[in-house]
Structure 1
Amino acid sequence: MEEYVTIVFRTLFFYVLILVIFRIMGKREIGELSILDLVVFIMIGEMAVVSIDEPKDPLIYTVVPMILLMLIQILLALISLKSKKFRNLIDGQPSIIINRGKIDEKAMRKQRYNFDDLMTQLREKDIRSIADVEFAILESSGSLSVIEKIKNENAESQQGDITIPLILDGNIDEENLLRINKTNLWLRQELKKQGYRDVKKISFCSYENGKFFIDLKDE
Structure 2
Amino acid sequence: MLIILIRTLFIYIFVVFAIRMMGKGELTELQPFELVIMLMIAELAALSMENTGASILNNLIAIITLLFAQILISYINMKSEWARGIICGKPSVLVNEGKINIKELQRLRININDLVEQIREKEYVSLADVEFAILETNGELSIIPKANKRPVTVEDLNIQPTYENMPISLIIDGHINHTNLKIAQRNENWLLEQLRVRNISDYKDVLFCFLDENKKLYVQKKD
How does the TM-score come out when normalised to structure 2? 0.64
User: CA 1:135–1:152 in structure 2 vs 1: closer, same or farther (change >3 Å)?
Assistant: closer
- Structure 2 residue matching 1:137: 3-state secondary structure: strand
Query: Quick check: 1:130 aligned with 2:127?
Result: yes
The 2-side partners of 1:118 and 1:28 are apart by 26
Gaps of 5+ in 2: 151-223
Q: Percent identity?
A: 41
Q: Relative contact order: is structure 1 or structure 2 higher (C-alpha 8 Å, sep ≥ 6)?
A: 1
How many residue pairs match? The answer is: 150
Q: Which amino acid aligns with 1:20?
A: F
* Contact preservation (8 Å) 1:136, 1:146: yes
What pairs with 1:89-128 in structure 2 (closer than 5 Å)? 89-128=86-125
Show the counterpart of 1:68.
65
Q: Report what 1:21 is aligned to.
A: 18
Q: Find the partner of 2:54 among 57, 67, 81.
A: 57
Structure 1 portions without partners, runs of 5+: 154-219
Of the three residues 20, 31, 34, the one matched with 1:37 is 34
C-alpha deviation, 1:32, in angstroms: 2.1
Partner of 1:190: none
AA matched with 1:39: V
Q: Is the 8 A contact 1:31 1:142 kept in 2?
A: no
In 2 relative to 1, CA 122–109 (structure 1 residues): closer, same or farther, beyond 3 Å? same
Give the corresponding residue for 2:158: none
1:66-215 aligned at under 5 Å gives the runs: 66-151=63-148
Distance 1:29 1:121 in 2: 23
Structure 1 length-normalised TM: 0.65
Q: Distance in 2 between matches of 1:96 and 1:146?
A: 10
Provide, for residues 68-94 of structure 1, a one-character-per-residue CA deviation record: whole Å limited to 9, x for no partner.
Answer: 110011011111111111111110100
Cα deviation, residue 116, structure 1: 2.3
1:87 & 1:119 partners in 2: Cα distance? Answer: 29
Cα offset, 1:137, TM superposition: 0.1
Instruction: Give, in whole Å, the separation in 2 of the partners of 1:7 and 1:116.
Output: 47
Q: Within 2, Cα distance between the matches of 1:5 and 1:98?
A: 57
Distance in structure 1 (CA, Å) of the matches to 2:59 and 2:26: 26
Deviation at 1:150, TM superposition (A): 1.2
SS where residue 134 of structure 2 aligns? strand
Cα separation, 1, equivalents of 2:113 and 2:56: 46
**Superposition deviation, residue 29 in structure 1:** 5.8
